[in-house]
A and B are shown apart, each in its own frame.
Chain A
Amino acid sequence: MRMYEFEGSDLFRREGIPVPDCAVATSPQEARQKAEAIGLPVVIKAQVLVGGRGLAGGVQTAESPDQVEEVAQRILNCSIKGLPVHRVMVARKIAVTQEFYVGVTVDGYKGTPVAILSSAGGVSIEEVARAHPEQVVSRPVPIATGLVLSEAQQMARKVGLDGEDLAQVASILHTLYGIFRKYDALITEINPLVRTPQGTYLALDAKVEIDDSSLYRHPNFQVALEDSIPNPLERRGHQIGVTYVELDGEIGIIASGAGLGMATMDIISRRFRPANFLETGGAITEDLLYQTMDLVLQKKGLKAIFINVYGGINPIHEGAKGVVRYIREHGITIPVVAKALGNRQEETWEILREGGVSVVTEVATEKGIERLARLMEGGV
């Protein structure tokens, strides 16, 4: 679950990381009021859950109340990478003498947290790491002991800090690691952390993503589904409990298993274009496949459906009943080809055949797609 910047800033403030005075507004008038309370000039920032909003015009400065209204109006009317902007953050404009990057994330390969500090903030850390690796310090953190303050101080020294600056930046990195652990984050990142002319440090951005699998122990965190999954079909998939990714082709896919689903996409892409990726997970029921058929058929211009499932943990014969019930009730006429193998496969084939599904009993998905191609060309 990715947090909005204003939520992340609020979390940082509560946990002891200094952030500029800021507020959220949903209308130009509200933005003006908030800006007057904070004090001008201000920075107005689109609140959307994608990166690159600065380049898309979603971050702008306003010097006067009138200009605040005008800029807020413009940002609230636009959309960034397809996401409409419903809220802006109004933040005091800060004078900056230097920008840093401070982050904590998961090293998936090593299976440890990793703390990262860079003296080149405000730009993509991946690019800095490529172009100027000497400006980036990154350390795996032993999870049992956590990031000790002296380690954070060494990292700060390595990026060229000393004295009071070193103490402040190390303390912020140390606190950020604490937030990462306390809230089960996959990433906590400040880019940029800025030094003001007075020598204080402020977090000018807040990127926080919480591990979805841990949300049961953080019941206060909630993002509206419309915001986190803007695509309506993908949202519907999430609601019924499958992973659906909309693509721009004409062959619908229903697969049990992520790798099998991707392989099916790859094979289909040799001759056709997949309309979606869909992975059922390990909890197939009659009802789930009924709803999955309904979801896949929402896509406009669909010419055929390919079902590719294995009965390991999944009762595929139950799923088959859902597929044929949907076909019967809705009079589906486009070709539906199914390859279903594993526990209770014969029973599954029987159910599918009776429901008008073309059943492939061979193992290779490639053979199934050949069948699909013949059917689409009017053969059998």
Chain B
Amino acid sequence: MSILLNRETRVLVQGITGRIGRVQTKWMLDYGTNIVAGVTPGKGGEEVEGIPVYNTVAEAVSKQGAEASVFFVPAGAVKNAAIETIDAGIKLIVIITERVPVHDVMEITAYAREQGVRLVGPNTPGIITPGEAKMGIMPGITFTPGRIGIISRSGTLAYEISANLAIADLGQSTVVGMGGDPVVFTSMPELLELFEEDPDTDMVVLVGEVGGVQEEKAAQFIAERTTKPVVAYIAGLNTPEGKRMGHAGAIIQGGMGTPQSKITALRQAGVPIAEYPLEIVGLAQKCL
């Protein structure tokens, strides 16, 4: 088992006929993902890698029983596509797309909460349950099946930490990229709760970075609710104030969003902090 995604999950790919949609569909299939349908408006009737393409999400749901969707949809089309997907009854949506307008993200968030739909992203590498399935763009090669849950604000850093853990024979149950934008659909505490309830996850690694308050909120949740061990690394100890560090959400502004504030909050919640990414391995070994 795992959280959010497993080998049975019937996955829909939206934007499947685009350049990136096609390549990533192939790689997700190669990894073992149970992709059942694609959607691109106007391209219904085509096939990509043998997967049938439909014009609407409703068709993909009724004809192929799609239950989760991964988006390679252009930024300006994400809002309408997300609302269509929620209305069609899909319960998990992963939005890989970068540069989705923040107001659109807020509108989608409000609608998804009302309808009880889980979204991950935007601007995320996606979700991978190693050895079973992936909804996203991460290279499968850096992940290994196991019992550690990873929640990461950064994509490539999650790849590196997962690969470091694999060398020490520590695999992952599920790895979730939260997305690098100032507003993301699913918070760190929400993901911690999913891992807390997952019988196949023994501990959680948090990979945070400067900006925002996700890590501080996670610390509060851990202090109050979590029984499984949690360890963390926070990237950006040497970040200058007022500079966006590649992610729109990774910025220290007016003294807010500093790594020190996150590290202090997590330490107070009893979370051991790795000073550098490789130290996560040793901290994880001590917990298990």
Contact of B246 among A212, A214, A277, A366 (CB under 8 A): A277
Q: A142 and B139 in contact (CB under 8 A), knowing A256-B156, A310-B156?
A: no
In the complex, the chain B residue whose C-beta lies closest to that of A243 is B246
Asked if A363 and B160 make an inter-chain contact with CB atoms under 8 angstroms apart, the answer reads yes
Asked if A265 and B240 make an inter-chain contact with CB atoms under 8 angstroms apart, the answer reads no
Residue of B154, B210, B246, B255 ringed by the most chain A CB atoms within 10 A: B246
Q: Does A65 contact B (CB under 8 A)?
A: no
Contact of A213 among B27, B100, B187 (CB under 8 A): B100
In the complex, the chain A residue whose C-beta lies closest to that of B257 is A108
Contact of B110 among A112, A211, A265, A365 (CB under 8 A): A112
Asked if B102 and A142 make an inter-chain contact with CB atoms under 8 angstroms apart, the answer reads no
Contact of A144 among B105, B110, B159, B246 (CB under 8 A): B110
Asked if B157 and A257 make an inter-chain contact with CB atoms under 8 angstroms apart, the answer reads yes
Q: A257 and B154 in contact (CB under 8 A), knowing A262-B209, A262-B239?
A: yes
Q: A213 and B156 in contact (CB under 8 A), knowing A277-B245, A313-B137, A342-B141?
A: no
Q: A312 and B243 in contact (CB under 8 A), knowing A106-B106, A213-B100, A260-B157?
A: no
Asked if B109 and A243 make an inter-chain contact with CB atoms under 8 angstroms apart, the answer reads no
**Which 7 pairs from chain A and chain B are nearest by CB?**
A259-B154, A257-B156, A258-B246, A279-B246, A259-B157, A214-B101, A342-B139
Asked if A265 and B238 make an inter-chain contact with CB atoms under 8 angstroms apart, the answer reads yes
Asked if B111 and A262 make an inter-chain contact with CB atoms under 8 angstroms apart, the answer reads no
Q: Does B44 contact A (CB under 8 A)?
A: no
Please report the C-alpha to C-alpha distance between residue A158 and residue B22 in the assembled complex, in whole angstroms: 55
Q: Does B69 contact A (CB under 8 A)?
A: no
Asked if B101 and A213 make an inter-chain contact with CB atoms under 8 angstroms apart, the answer reads yes
Asked if A243 and B110 make an inter-chain contact with CB atoms under 8 angstroms apart, the answer reads no
Asked if A260 and B217 make an inter-chain contact with CB atoms under 8 angstroms apart, the answer reads no
Q: Does B90 contact A (CB under 8 A)?
A: no
CB neighbours (8 Å) of B275 from chain A are 266
Q: A258 and B240 in contact (CB under 8 A), knowing A106-B106, A126-B254?
A: no
Contact of B183 among A108, A279, A282, A310 (CB under 8 A): A108
Q: Does B182 contact A (CB under 8 A)?
A: yes
Question: What total of chain B residues lie within 8 Å of the partner, measured CB to CB?
Answer: 71
Asked if B237 and A269 make an inter-chain contact with CB atoms under 8 angstroms apart, the answer reads yes
Please report the C-alpha to C-alpha distance between residue A77 and residue B40 in the assembled complex, in whole angstroms: 56
Please report the C-alpha to C-alpha distance between residue A106 and residue B105 in the assembled complex, in whole angstroms: 11
Asked if B141 and A343 make an inter-chain contact with CB atoms under 8 angstroms apart, the answer reads yes
Proximity string of chain B (108-131) to chain A, C-beta cutoff 8 Å, 1 when within and 0 when not = 011100000000000001000000
CB neighbours (8 Å) of B239 from chain A are 262, 265, 277
Proximity string of chain B (148-180) to chain A, C-beta cutoff 8 Å, 1 when within and 0 when not = 000011111111100110010000000000001
Q: Does B12 contact A (CB under 8 A)?
A: no
In the complex, the chain A residue whose C-beta lies closest to that of B111 is A144
Proximity string of chain B (25-63) to chain A, C-beta cutoff 8 Å, 1 when within and 0 when not = 001000000000000000000000000000000000000
Asked if A262 and B235 make an inter-chain contact with CB atoms under 8 angstroms apart, the answer reads yes
**Contacts A263-B235, A263-B276 known; 6 new A-B pairs at CB < 8 A:** A108-B213, A258-B154, A259-B154, A312-B155, A364-B277, A366-B277
CB contacts under 8 Å to B, within A61-117, are: 106, 108-109, 111-113
Q: Does B9 contact A (CB under 8 A)?
A: no
Please report the C-alpha to C-alpha distance between residue A260 and residue B125 in the assembled complex, in whole angstroms: 13
CB contacts under 8 Å to A, within B95-109, are: 98-107, 109
Please give the distance in Å from A259's CB to the nearest CB on chain B.
2
Q: A142 and B110 in contact (CB under 8 A), knowing A181-B103, A260-B160, A266-B235?
A: yes
In the complex, the chain B residue whose C-beta lies closest to that of A367 is B278
In the complex, the chain A residue whose C-beta lies closest to that of B187 is A109
Please report the C-alpha to C-alpha distance between residue A270 and residue B278 in the assembled complex, in whole angstroms: 14
Asked if A341 and B209 make an inter-chain contact with CB atoms under 8 angstroms apart, the answer reads no
Please give the distance in Å from B166's CB to the nearest CB on chain A.
8
Please report the C-alpha to C-alpha distance between residue A257 and residue B137 in the assembled complex, in whole angstroms: 13
Please report the C-alpha to C-alpha distance between residue A365 and residue B212 in the assembled complex, in whole angstroms: 25
CB neighbours (8 Å) of B246 from chain A are 243, 257-258, 261-262, 277, 279, 281
Please give the distance in Å from B30's CB to the nearest CB on chain A.
11
Q: A363 and B235 in contact (CB under 8 A), knowing A257-B246, A259-B153?
A: no
